[in-house]
Amino acid sequence: MIMNHPGLPDSWMWLAVMLMLITVAWTFVKTPKKNSKQVFIAVERIPLLGQLAKLFSASPWPLLIFKFVSVALFLTVIAAGLWGTPIAERNLATTLTWTVWWAGLIITVFFLGSAWCAVCPWDTLASWLVKRRLWRRADAAASLGLKVPKIWRNVWPALAMFVGLTWLELGVGVTTNPYATAVLSLVMIVMSTIYMAVFEGKAFCKYVCPVGRTVGFYAQLSMVELRPREQQTCSDCKTMECYHGTEEIEPCPTHLVMGSLKQSTYCTSCSACTMSCPHNNVGWRIRSPAVEAIQHARPHWDEAWFMLGLLGLTTFHGITMLEVWEQALSRFGQLIGDSGQLIMSFSVGMLLVFIAPVLLYSLLIKLTQLLLPNKIDFKQLFSKLAFISLPMAFVYHIAHNLNHLIRESRGFTDVLMNPLGSGSLPLSSQELHMRHMSPLMYEELLYGLQAGLMFFGFWLAMQILQRRTMESISEQSGWRGYYLLPGTLFIAGVTAFNLWLLAQPMVMRM
């Protein structure tokens, strides 16, 4: 039996479109400022949250408790996947991994940044196995500690892993296969352990992990960041415990220096810096979610591709859940004589959807190059403006995942009580209807959130476009609104398509 989630109603869609048009008009008329004032609120100053933040910064134990919980759940997922029922909606492996964790994780990034990485079970298990310490600094001899070869010191491996994960998820159907989900989990443990045993720091998290990098890039749009409390204290610091560690505390696993940290992409929120700083100068603060992607993050060629990859693949997720997708896949499969599972057809379709935004984006860069008064290298502009894809990918990812989380996670407590699904039967038509008709959130609120998110992503992308374009022109050249035209068309085109995707009925996953 097939159930479809209803799409975003027209009224909400048009409201979002109207707000976007106003944003475009305002962006074109307004002359951008070179330096905007930034406002931060230290989390320590907020009642309750402050105490909580202090607790996590002062002692390793609260984080360790969370790590134990995450590892315990992870091991249960593996056991459920290997020995539990193959019925996806009754097994903890598939429901927890794909419906709750993978769908909910992206939403948490907005509020908690890369906090997930701090309790990630892949990394925790790898650390425990290789370093044989619960949290204290390990003997340097525990790992070979080799430097990652220069050719691998980029996010290309993470992009390849992310593409691979999407292919497994949507093409091979790992999301509905508890056994395959468990095997995938084991593969991730093996990979992270090998990396930790061979290379220094957390090379797997920094360069390979598709989840870590996705979380890392999206963390640029988070409302929290880990930064020095007083910049001057860091400037005067000669010992740099945040970077080198102390006798007890590990050094920063991704080699970040707190004093010069401008970008959260590679921060794993591990708390090593907060615990090792002798001046107690590192803390969480609340910020505008726009500030990092708009001006602080530095452009890099490989990172630009990762951000565009995120945009293409998140949109691809939506496309594959449309009714039209399977029909098109079937036709193409018949034409090329594909196997029964249509893997080749799926791969070609995925490639097309991945390539389309990159080609459009390249066109935008070429046109912007022509419009700008001074000559700027294609690769440089490509890397610089790629940040506009980040908010579009992020908001669509959240809006899409909200559908899964709100409409498909009902009944999760039953699965939690019987993680292996022993003796359980598949969902009956009545249960399917019940799930379908009673989402976890009031439906209009869900629509409002989705429309609001799409507008927010659009607005953020326009801000980034304006700021990054302005940075690309020389001081002498005056500002002209038409410099933004190609970028605006790209942002509007992608957002309109994603909005249309949200408005379509979406096939229920499980």
Partner 1 sequence: MSLLKTLTVACLIFISGVPVYAHHVLGRPSYSLGEDSNTPPSMQVETQIGDFYVTYMAFPAFPKPNEQGRVNLYASRIDNGLPFEGRVTFKVRDDRWFAGEEEILGIQNIDDSVYRQGFIFQEEGDYIITAEFSSGGEPYLIDFPLRIGEPAAVGPIGITIAILFVVLITVNILQRKRRFSLKAKRAREDNNT
Contact residues for partner 1 (CB under 8 A)? 1-2, 78, 82-83, 86-88, 129-130, 141-144, 170-173, 176-177, 179, 182-183, 186, 189-190, 193-194, 197-198, 321-328, 330-342, 345, 348-349, 351-352, 425-430, 507
CB of 400 to partner 1, least distance (A): 16
The Cβ-side half-sphere exposure at 356, using a 13 Å CA radius, reads: 16
- Residue burial 384-401, b: 16+ Cβ < 10 Å; e: rest: bbbbbbbbbbbbbbbbbb
Considering the complex, what minimum distance in angstroms separates the CB of residue 215 from partner 1?
24
Q: How far is the CB of 199 from partner 1 (least distance, A)?
A: 11
Q: How far apart are CA 60 and CA 266, in angstroms?
A: 21
- Minimum Å gap between C-beta 375 and partner 1 is 32
Q: Which is nearer to partner 1, 47 or 340 (CB)?
A: 340
Minimum distance, C-beta of residue 134 to partner 1, in the bound complex (Å):
17
DSSP code for 11: H
**SS3 sequence of 212-237:** HHHHHHHHHHCCEEEEECCHHHHHHC
390 contacts 220 by C-beta, under 8 angstroms: yes
Residue placing its CB nearer to partner 1 in the complex, 105 or 138: 138
Nearest distance from C-beta of residue 143 to partner 1, angstroms: 7
Nearest residue (CB) to partner 1, 356 versus 372: 356
**Comparison of 199 and 217: residue with beta carbon closer to partner 1:** 199
3-state secondary structure of 74: helix
How far apart (Å, rounded) are the C-alpha atoms in residues 13 and 354? 25
Nearest approach in angstroms of CB 123 to partner 1 is 15
- Of the pair 23, 176, the CB lying nearest partner 1 is at 176
Half-sphere exposure of 250 (CA within 13 A, CB side): 25
Helix axes 323-336, 343-371, angle to 10 degrees: 110
- Whichever of 156 and 179 has its CB closer to partner 1, that residue is 179
From CA 47, how far away is CA 300, in angstroms rounded? 39
Q: In angstroms, give the least distance from the CB of 62 to partner 1.
A: 28
Judged by beta carbon, residue 348 or residue 372, the one nearer partner 1 is 348
Residue 63 phi, psi (nearest 5): -65, -40
For the chain, what is the radius of gyration of the CA atoms?
23
Closer of 428 and 477 to partner 1 (Cβ): 428
Q: Identify whether the C-beta of residue 84 lies closer than 8 Å to the C-beta of residue 91.
A: yes
Instruction: Report which of 268, 280, 288, 283 is spatially closest to residue 40, judged by C-alpha positions.
Output: 288
- Which one, 203 or 261, has the nearer CB to partner 1? 203
Distance CA 140, CA 200 (A): 9
Distance of closest approach, residue 379 Cβ to partner 1, in angstroms: 25
